[in-house]
Structure formats: structure tokens, C-alpha cells
Structure 1
Amino acid sequence: MNTPSVQHHGAVDAHPSRTRALSPAERWYWIIDQLSTLTVCARVRIEGEVSTAALAAALRALQGGQPLLRLAIAEEPGGARFVPTDNPIPVREVVLTEAEPSRWEREVDEHEFAESVDWRTGPLARAVHIRAPGNVHDLVLSLPHCVADGTTALALLRRWVRLAAGPGSADRDTSTPDVQGGPVPAAVEDLFPDRYRSMSDPVPERAAGEDVVVGRVVPDRFVPFHERRTRLLHRSIDGDALARLTAACKREGVTLHGVLAAAMAAAVARDARAQPGAHFAVGSPVAFRDEMARPVGEDEVGCFVSAVHSVVAYAPDDLWRMARFVNDDISARRARGEQFPVFSLLAAQGPAGVADSGPLVRYIEEHGSFNFFVSNVGRFDFPDTLGGWRLSGAQFVGGISVVGYLASSVTTSHNTLNWNFTHIDDAVPHARATRLADDCIRTVLAAAG
């Protein structure tokens, strides 16, 4: 857990291109990260000879090419600002004496989700290298959500691995990255199409069918915001099971995301012992990189996601009907631009810091559109081999902080669908979260036949 802080750390750089104020969305994510860690992690396994020196040099090269990885955040009287830092991305090395394939899960669960990336000193990233016998290595790259979404984390991890595998990588200059090398990139909001940069009505109208009692995850107990801890439960679907699920989605005319979100809503409904027809709101963070005023590729660092929600009727005997509704509803909401109003809301009413964040945090707790969600980056292109290395298990997982009680992060790569469930400890205890996660897996596998 994190202790909220409003202390001043660091000094603002006088050069205007090397510092700027956090945007309203960046500031919001930075604030709630101080209440309860909001970190995005990406992980991959490497089998082969890996040089520690090559990894370190590649990480410096990665940092040198990404301005947002050469920043810290300074809390000034006028507000929080990005400022340059020459600190390298820290690497925590974990050396195992025997094989422990799931150790990366423990490192994310017990360390990366327990302690925020140090924004005061920067940089806004850190890494873990887990070394196991037999030349097996797990790499984890962690970033705060204020500068990264799941796609960003995976793309940076992929770039790090490619740099490390390149010829002469171990001989690269590992001196401090050049913080003079470029301005702070523009905020995500500055890349919005003109019609979404300023919205007179930042709260969208209710969609048809929302004037019903909407179910949410009911916590076992209320956990104070600053005491909340995201915990991780890793699950995956691969081989014939994934092939059957993919074929079933194609047959039924729904996306994989639609069926995963429907399965999660169904699991929450069963957990609540709800009757058929009861409505539950499931959130879907959607990427909008392809909706910006200019093209934004997956290698561009930033948080290019916003959540919409679907109020779906529980149909215990027809998961595909639920999935089709989720698909159609997300498409309709995206067409109406419902992924953008939250940014205008944060600009108009967002807090300046932790000290005045209470009203909005409490409002989200009591009246937010949803408190469980599925974040799915879809199929992510990660190489299977690089030189003499064999790569597997590329995936991301994100924290929850104070915006919900149950979530899942989904990545399809290396012929595996990795479905990482997260929950707020004590509010949704481990045993209950395990039942919910296993229910989701059973439901989609049963529907796939």
C-alpha cells in the first residue's frame, strides 16, 4: 500500500521543451497511484544465453530513445510537472537456484503491485530480471499508468529485448542517457481530434436500457482507498482450447473481447447469486490510437485508452447472446465518442493533488459506471525467436488502484491467451477471486465446446 504524499520534491527545469505540466488525465492517474499503486507491467520469457551487460546496455539505449523514460515528476506550487532526470532505469535482479516458472507472477504480485514506480526521482520505469537454472530468464518492465497503457508496456519490452539481442549489444556505451535529446512529448489529450478537445457536455447521456438496477461487485468489506492492494491471479488458454474458442467466436460472429467480457459479467452475476435477466455493468478499456488527429503507432509511449461500459443482462444459458450485446454496445458507444468525455470531465473537475482528490474518488466508489472490467490488447506481435533465443509468454497486467474491485488484463501472443485477473485484497479475498477467475475460464471453454 502507498502513503499519500503532497510533499515537494525536485526542481523544475527552466527549459520549456524539457518540462511541462501533467495533463488532467496524467495528473489523475498520478494522484490515484499515490493512493493505491497503479502500475502497468509487461513480461516475457527468454530461453537462451542472456548477458546481464547486454540487458543493461539495451535498457539504456531504450531509455535514450524515449523522452518519457527520461523524466521524473516534480510537485510544484503551480501543479505537478514532468522534469528531466539522468537516472537510469533500475533493474532488480532475482537469481533462482531451482526452476520456478511462476516466479514472475510472485514478483509482480508482491513487489511491482505493492510499491509504485518512484516518480519523485524518476525515471518513470523500472525492470526485473529473473534468472533461473537452464538459461531461463523472465523480464518484467513496469511503468506508471500516467505514461503507459498495456500496448506501451509490451512495445517497450519488445524493443528492449530486440536491442539486447542485437549484435554488439553488450559493448554499447552504458553511460547515462542524454536528457538533452528532445522535448517532453505532447499530452495524449493534445492529439485528440478537434471535436473531442473541448466538450460542452462531458457526461454522455444514458444509453437505452440503462434505467435499470445495475449490479456491481459487492466487496466483502470496505477497504480504505490508501490501503488498497492489487493482487494477481494468472490464467491462460492455449493449444486446442484456444483454437476452439477462436473458431467459436468466428462462428458466432463475436470478438474474443466480447466473450471474455460476457464471461466475466456472468461470473460476477453467479457470485452475487443473481437471477437470469439481472443487469451487470462490465467495463472495457478501449484503445483510441487510431482515432487521433495524426497516426499513433503502438511504439509511441503514452496512455491511449479510455473505458466504456456495457450494461448486460445475465443469461446463464446463452453466453453468446451476452457477448453479442457487449460487442454491439461497445461499437455503438465508440461511434458516439463515449471514450472521450471523461477527459473533459477531468479537465473541468479533476483534483489538483491527493489532498483534494477525496470527493471524486468517493464519487467513483459510490456512483461509478462499473467496478469490474476487462482490458484486452488483443493479439500482440512479439517475436518467437531472436538469434539464439526462444521467446514465450509475452503479456501485460495492470493494477486497479481505486477504480474498481476486480479486473482482468488479456494478451494473445505466442499462441497463448494470457488472462491475468486482478483483485483488491480483502475487498475481494483470494479465495473469492480464485472462484471468479476459474468461473470465467470454465465458462468460455464450455461455450467453445
Structure 2
Amino acid sequence: MIKRKLMMVERIMYVDPETPVNCVFAAKIKGEIPEENFKTALEKIQQKHPLLRAVIDTKTEKYPFFIEEKDIAPIPLRIVERKTDQDWLLESQKEWKVLFEDEKKPLARVVWVKGQNVSEIFWAIPHCISDGTTGVTLMQELLQLLDDPFFELQPYQPFSSVNDFLPPSFNVKSKKYKANLYLLFARFFFLLQRKSKKRNLGQDYVLHRKLDSETTSKITEKCKANGVSVHALLCAAFMQAFQEVKGADAKGKVISPVDVRHFIPEIKQDHLFAFAPTVDLSLKKGSYDLINNARQIKNDLIQKIKKMEARELLWMGEQMHPIVDRMISMLKSSNGGHDVTLSNMGKINIPNHYNNFTVETIFSPTVAFPWLNSNTLTTSTYNQQMDFIFLSNEDFLPKAEATIIKEKAIALMTTSV
């Protein structure tokens, strides 16, 4: 039975009952799937994951909480006729804006863009229960069960609070003192801030680009030859592209989420979880040497990950519930100090070939944030092809500028040294 308060980080991604923040995870397949297989597959997936049998109650207590709904409806399946290769992207943008507000319906939907022998299938899930790894897990399970409806999934017990992740050595008393100081400082900071009415009123948009396997291979070989990671090269290339296009308005910084499962092994690879701790990665001012920048970013990332205390971050976050609304308000009205939030999921571990169909490709996830600085880049690699999704809002970064930045960054990555 699940009944727990949303963690602070979940509350930020939930925003409020009127603001949808939905992640979309899509795959393109070739082959025919019986419609009845979806019913069985979604039923088994819902039985495995406790949060897919829960709803969010915002009325009963001071803060929103997850509560298991005994009469929960099945995960809905929406079927759309496939007419073009871009239909999945158009349908996913529709799903960004649809709230999960029904008290008897689960926090997930599936859309099947159905064509003759080719389809796109995608999950739409609120970000407050889902990170990138969650999307991969749900897609993996769905494809496995669509191919073999008799396959069995293993349910797991939900955690009751972040205290479940604290080691015996965690000194709550000393940490409480530190948390109270942070909270006091945060209250004072927000008190000094002038309330801004600035909001994004433009159109959210998505730019998609998939590289072929030859170009993807060139990027990985370039990284190996220079002793840098693909992630570091991505960060360096996009920050440099922002500098070249935005000039003095570029921030020279990216925010990079890290999978929390690296730090808290109790959160298994196949568990639904929303929190991804982040690191800030910066570019040296005036430096246009891409490889040297990537080396510096790689070293910086390694050092910051070593110092990261994910369990403490989760616990400290729980002490900040009184100021979450102010934090959300600031995100909605502040330009932020970064160019882009860059989430690189790396290689997607989903098989290509099944008995009854093949997976042609997996797309990087899309999500439209309500923040003023909504610049988001998600990347992933599947079947030796790197996939780029760039998302923002016309008010904050015009689509034409974003297109130039994206193409410049990819050109920097693919140009030979």
C-alpha cells in the first residue's frame, strides 16, 4: 500500500494541479502487433510498479501525496492512424499538455501511432514519477510483453520516505542544524527577491535530429582519440554553439542531471523514480578549443560526482518543503544562469530484434517545462545512431536561433580534428 508525501524534488516536477509536466518516451517498430497484447502488457506493467496504481491527492493534507487507488483504471491506450513519419512528434506534443487529473486513472498513458507494418509507440508519464531511466524501463517492459504476453514481471515494494535510504551512520541531529540554516538563508533570499511577473507566453517547440551510424561512429572515435567522454564533448559543443550564436548573452554553463541509481543502489534500475541530482558544468570564458574544453569538463564532472552525497541531498530536500512554492515561482520567472539543461542518456539498452517485430529506433525523451529558461537537450544512442531532442519556448529562445545552435553544436562534434 502506497501513501507518502511527494518528495521536494517530486513536488517541483509536479508544479501544481493545473500545470502538466509530462515526459514522452517513444520507439519506432516494424511489424504487426495484435491490439489485445497491449491490454495484457499494460496490466502486468501496472501490477509491477506501485506508482502506476497511485494518484496524487492535493486536497486532504498540507502537501500533495501519492496514495494507492484500489479501484484504479487500467493504463489508457490511445490509437492514432499513422500518416507520416512526423505524426509521433505531433502526438507527443499534444500529450505534453494533458493533465493527469482523473482521481481513478493512473499516472501514465500509452499512445500507439499505428501504421501498416510500421508504428511508433510512446509512453506519456508525469515527470514527478519519471526520470530517463524510468522511460527506458517502461519501454523495455512494454516491448517485451507485446512480443510475449506470457512474460512475467516482478513487483517490488515502494519506499515510504527518503529515510529508507539513510545509512545508520547518518547523523540527523547535526544535519538538521545545517538544514535549518539553509532554510533560514533561503527564506531570507526569497524575501529580498522582487516578485517577477515575467512568464513564457510563447509556443513550446521541439527540434529533432538523428545522426546516421557513420556520423555517430565518428563522434565516438573522436572522443576515444582525445581521451574525452561523449557527454563532455556534448557539453563543450553546445556551450560553444551558444557562445557563437548568443554572444555576450550566453551563460557558458550547462546543468547536467545524473542517474541517482549510481549513488543509491536500493533504487533499482527497473524502479520508477523521479529524482536526478544535477551538476553545473562551465566553459572557460574566451576558450574556443573544443577538445581542451571537453577535457576540462570531463575532469570537472568526475570531481563533482565523487563529492556528490545523493542520500543527503534527498534528505536535505525534505527539509525545504515550506519554500517549494517559492522555488517553483522563481523557476517560472528567472532567466537562470545556464544555457541549457543537458541530459545524455547514453546507449539505450533495449534489444533490436523480437520474435514478432524489430525496433527500428528509440527517440530521446521530450518534455515541455513551464520554466522561463526551458532550454532542454536530451540525447541518447540506439542502434549506433545518436538522437538529439532540443526543446524550448519561442518567448525565451526563438526556434530559428535554437535550430542554428543545434546544428552548430553537431557540426563542432562531427568535424575532424
Q: What is the TM-score normalised by the length of structure 2?
A: 0.84
Q: 2:216 matched to which residue of 1?
A: 242
Q: 1:126 matched to which residue of 2?
A: 109
Identity %: 22
Residues 48-90 of structure 1: CA distance to partner in whole angstroms, max 9, x if unpaired? Answer: 1111111222111111111111111011233212122311111
Residues 222-251 of structure 1: CA distance to partner in whole angstroms, max 9, x if unpaired? Answer: 8526x5764211112222111111011011
Structure 2 CA distance, aligned partners of 1:392 and 1:337?
37
Contact 1:249 1:256 in 2 (8 A): yes
Q: 2:292 matched to which residue of 1?
A: 321
Amino acid in structure 1 at the alignment position of 2:47: G
Q: 1:136 matched to which residue of 2?
A: 118
Amino acid in structure 1 at the alignment position of 2:320: Q
Structure 1 CA distance, aligned partners of 2:75 and 2:135?
14
2:362 corresponds to which of 387, 394, 415: 394
Residue 257 of structure 2 corresponds to residue 285 of structure 1: yes
Structure 2 CA distance, aligned partners of 1:119 and 1:394?
29
Tell me the matched-pair count: 395
Q: 1:12 matched to which residue of 2?
A: none
- Deviating more after overlay: 188-197 vs 369-378: 188-197
2:9 corresponds to which of 14, 18, 25: 25
Contact 1:236 1:419 in 2 (8 A): yes
Residue 229 of structure 2 corresponds to residue 267 of structure 1: no
- CA, structure 1 residues 360+139, in 2 after alignment: closer, same or farther (shift >3 Å)? closer
Q: 1:362 matched to which residue of 2?
A: 330
- Deviating more after overlay: 243-252 vs 421-430: 421-430
1:301-312 equivalences under 5 Å are 301-312=272-283
1:55-70 equivalences under 5 Å are 55-70=38-53
1:21-60 equivalences under 5 Å are 21-31=5-15, 34=17, 36-60=19-43
Contact 2:239 2:253 in 1 (8 A): yes
- CA, structure 1 residues 284+92, in 2 after alignment: closer, same or farther (shift >3 Å)? same
- CA, structure 1 residues 189+273, in 2 after alignment: closer, same or farther (shift >3 Å)? farther
- Deviating more after overlay: 312-321 vs 421-430: 312-321
1:184-195 equivalences under 5 Å are 184-187=158-161, 190-191=164-165, 193=167, 195=170
1:405-444 equivalences under 5 Å are 405-444=374-413
Shift of 1:301: 1.1
Amino acid in structure 1 at the alignment position of 2:213: G
Q: RMSD value over aligned CA atoms?
A: 3.1
Runs of 5+ unmatched residues, structure 2: 183-196
Q: 2:86 matched to which residue of 1?
A: 102
Structure 2 CA distance, aligned partners of 1:410 and 1:440?
13
- CA, structure 1 residues 359+380, in 2 after alignment: closer, same or farther (shift >3 Å)? closer
Amino acid in structure 2 at the alignment position of 1:159: E
- CA, structure 1 residues 359+61, in 2 after alignment: closer, same or farther (shift >3 Å)? closer
Contact 1:309 1:369 in 2 (8 A): no
Structure 1 CA distance, aligned partners of 2:233 and 2:92?
27
Structure 2 CA distance, aligned partners of 1:167 and 1:25?
35
Residues 358-378 of structure 1: CA distance to partner in whole angstroms, max 9, x if unpaired? Answer: 465326854855351110111
SS at match of 2:51: helix
Shift of 1:340: 6.3
Shift of 1:422: 0.7
Shift of 1:123: 0.8
Q: 2:199 matched to which residue of 1?
A: 224
Contact 1:125 1:143 in 2 (8 A): yes
Contact 1:308 1:338 in 2 (8 A): no
Contact 1:269 1:314 in 2 (8 A): no
SS at match of 1:272: helix
SS at match of 2:64: strand
Shift of 1:341: 6.4
- Deviating more after overlay: 192-201 vs 23-32: 192-201
Structure 2 CA distance, aligned partners of 1:335 and 1:378?
20
1:349 corresponds to which of 320, 326, 335: 320
Shift of 1:289: 0.3
Structure 2 CA distance, aligned partners of 1:154 and 1:118?
24
Structure 1 CA distance, aligned partners of 2:101 and 2:92?
16
Contact 1:380 1:411 in 2 (8 A): yes
Contact 2:251 2:338 in 1 (8 A): no
Structure 1 CA distance, aligned partners of 2:205 and 2:81?
23
1:169-208 equivalences under 5 Å are 184-187=158-161, 190-191=164-165, 193=167, 195=170, 198=175, 201=178
Structure 2 CA distance, aligned partners of 1:262 and 1:144?
30
SS at match of 1:361: helix
Shift of 1:343: 3.9
Shift of 1:416: 1.1
Amino acid in structure 1 at the alignment position of 2:406: A
Amino acid in structure 2 at the alignment position of 1:388: N
Q: 1:332 matched to which residue of 2?
A: 303
Q: 1:375 matched to which residue of 2?
A: 343
Q: What is the TM-score normalised by the length of structure 1?
A: 0.79
Residues 25-59 of structure 1: CA distance to partner in whole angstroms, max 9, x if unpaired? Answer: 22222126x56532222111111111111122211
- CA, structure 1 residues 204+108, in 2 after alignment: closer, same or farther (shift >3 Å)? farther
Structure 2 CA distance, aligned partners of 1:48 and 1:327?
41
Amino acid in structure 1 at the alignment position of 2:199: P
Contact 2:40 2:149 in 1 (8 A): no
Higher normalized helix content (fraction of residues): 2
1:88 corresponds to which of 74, 77, 81: 74
